[in-house]
């Protein structure tokens, strides 16, 4: 999954950047979890969805509790080639509760036509999973939903590869904002088990952003999680890389490899 | 699902499969290795295997899941590709205490798959969705 994120980052790098041509998406499956502020997380999720639909031409399912009324202006500025045909490849769905989300993800296998999605996005997992006081059963619910996402992606991968042996695997991309800190959040600890890569988004608290005339500056770090081959992750998925996300006045987004 | 296991456990199940195909038994050395890796739930998992408690469900879409009949008579639905079980032991020992890789139900699935003794059953796509979600789908 980090390969889609890395593709997003490289696609929206500044033209002055000296990085090499973006690598083609590789066959790395699994999931990536964006951990950080939900507003910037949502922007990155939308960018990933639009990039997957327009650049890779794949179907995307985007789950969120909050309806998306229109394409954000910042996204339109970032992707001037955005067109209705690309947007048609993205199905937006707004389950209100964890039960509804479970039902909708569990039902994805039922549709034979159109083909299964290649990217499953969940905005703000914590809004479905976390309740004040961490009631009993919260961890189990987090494991159920995360495992269902993981298993559904594995099924979609198999279905896609039956249709075309050269199909890339289905990927899961979700965002999570922790209220009690990523290091001590019990729900995040459970969710982490099922995601191969964590993408941490941390806002820069110094003066660098203001000095550069930016609205915001974010540090983006990809790290490997779970039972996985860390070296393989580094080689194929860009794990271990650090990026900066620059948000300009007016909402334009740009990524810079550190 | 095996990608959620450490390499030593994956190799152990491959060894069990090979030996069981040849001898229809799991020899003592492999049983000891199972106990060493997975702890006390091994005996309970082997009991579940003996009772033919593991069923692989499949639906017309090609989606699969496992159902395990627990000792209490409760049916637990587990996934094909990753570790999750709705039983109290998984919630407590694995998720909360982080003291085990899996519960006896998931271990029984691995053993049945290695030994080729998993029951097979077909369900409709809608039934599969209900089982996977663990919720009832409202009538539309």
- Is A109 an interface residue toward B (CB < 8 Å)? yes
Q: B80 vs A99: CB contact, 8 Å cut-off?
A: no
Q: B83 vs A147: CB contact, 8 Å cut-off?
A: yes
Q: What is the pTM of this model?
A: 0.88
CA nearest A152: which of B118, B127, B5, B82?
B82
What's the complex ipTM?
Answer: 0.93
- Is B124 an interface residue toward A (CB < 8 Å)? no
Beta-sheet strands, E only, within chain B: 54-58, 64-69, 75-79, 119-122
- Is B8 an interface residue toward A (CB < 8 Å)? no
**Residue-wise burial string across B40-65, b where 16 or more C-beta atoms lie within 10 A, e elsewhere:** ebbebbbebbeeebbbbbebebebbb
Each as own residue / partner, the long-range contacts of residues A191-194 (CB below 8 Å, 24 or more positions apart, any chain) are: A191/A33, A191/A125, A191/A129, A191/A142, A191/A146, A192/A33, A192/A225, A192/A226, A193/A143, A193/A146, A193/A226, A193/B83, A194/A31, A194/A143, A194/A146, A194/A147, A194/A149, A194/A150, A194/A226, A194/B82
Q: A154 vs B59: CB contact, 8 Å cut-off?
A: no
Please give the Cα distance from A86 to A40 (Å, whole number). Answer: 22
CA nearest B3: which of A195, A252, A251?
A195
Chain A interface, best mutation among B58, B62, B63, by max A CB count within 10 A: B63
CA distance B81 to chain A (A): 5
Coil vs helix vs strand at B23: helix
What does each of the 258 residues of chain A score in pLDDT, given as a tens digit?
Answer: 557 777 777 766 655 443 444 444 443 456 899 998 888 888 889 989 988 888 888 899 999 999 988 777 667 666 666 777 888 899 999 999 999 999 999 999 997 667 899 999 999 999 999 877 667 778 999 999 999 999 999 999 999 988 887 778 899 999 999 877 666 788 999 999 999 888 889 888 777 777 777 788 888 888 886 434 444 444 445 566 788 888 888 777 888 888
B residues 40..69 contacting A (CB < 8 A): 59, 61-64
**What domains, with CATH codes, occur in chain A?**
4-257 (3.40.50.300)
Please give the Cα distance from B63 to B79 (Å, whole number). Answer: 10
């Amino acid at each position: 999954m980090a390969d889609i994120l890395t593709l997003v980052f490289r696609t929206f790098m500044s033209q002055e950047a000296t990085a090499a041509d973006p690598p083609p998406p590789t066959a790395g499956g699994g999931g990536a979890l964006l951990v950080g502020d939900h507003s910037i997380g949502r922007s990155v999720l939308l960018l990933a969805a639009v990039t997957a639909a327009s650049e890779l031409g794949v179907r995307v399912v985007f789950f969120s509790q909050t309806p998306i009324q229109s394409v954000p202006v910042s996204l339109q500025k970032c992707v001037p080639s955005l067109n209705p045909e690309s947007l048609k490849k993205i199905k937006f769905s707004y389950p209100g509760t964890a039960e509804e989300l479970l039902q909708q993800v569990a039902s994805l296998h039922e549709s034979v036509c159109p083909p299964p999605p290649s990217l499953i996005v969940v905005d703000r997992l914590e809004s479905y999973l976390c309740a004040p006081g961490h009631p009993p059963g919260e961890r189990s619910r987090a494991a159920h939903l995360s495992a269902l996402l993981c298993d559904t992606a594995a099924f979609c991968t198999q279905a896609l590869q039956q249709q075309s042996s050269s199909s890339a695997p289905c990927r899961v991309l979700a965002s999570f904002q922790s209220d009690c800190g990523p290091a001590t959040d019990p729900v995040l600890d459970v969710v982490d088990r099922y995601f191969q890569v964590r993408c941490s988004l941390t806002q820069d608290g110094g003066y660098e952003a203001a000095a550069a005339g930016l609205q915001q500056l974010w540090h983006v770090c990809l790290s490997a999680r779970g039972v996985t081959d860390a070296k393989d992750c580094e080689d194929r998925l860009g794990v271990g890389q650090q990026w900066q996300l620059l948000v300009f006045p007016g909402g334009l987004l740009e990524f810079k490899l550190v | 699902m095996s990608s959620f296991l450490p390499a030593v456990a994956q190799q152990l199940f491959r060894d069990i499969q090979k030996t069981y195909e040849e001898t229809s038994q799991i020899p003592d050395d492999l049983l000891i290795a199972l106990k060493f890796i997975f702890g006390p739930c091994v005996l309970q998992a082997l009991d579940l295997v003996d009772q033919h408690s593991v069923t692989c469900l499949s639906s017309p879409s090609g989606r699969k899941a496992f159902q395990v009949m627990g000792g209490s008579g409760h049916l637990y639905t587990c996934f094909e590709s990753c570790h999750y079980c709705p039983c109290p032991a998984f919630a407590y020992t694995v998720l909360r205490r982080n003291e085990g890789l899996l519960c006896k139900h998931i271990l029984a699935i691995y053993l049945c798959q290695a030994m080729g003794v998993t029951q097979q059953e077909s369900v409709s796509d809608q039934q599969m969705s209900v089982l996977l979600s663990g919720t009832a789908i409202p009538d539309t």
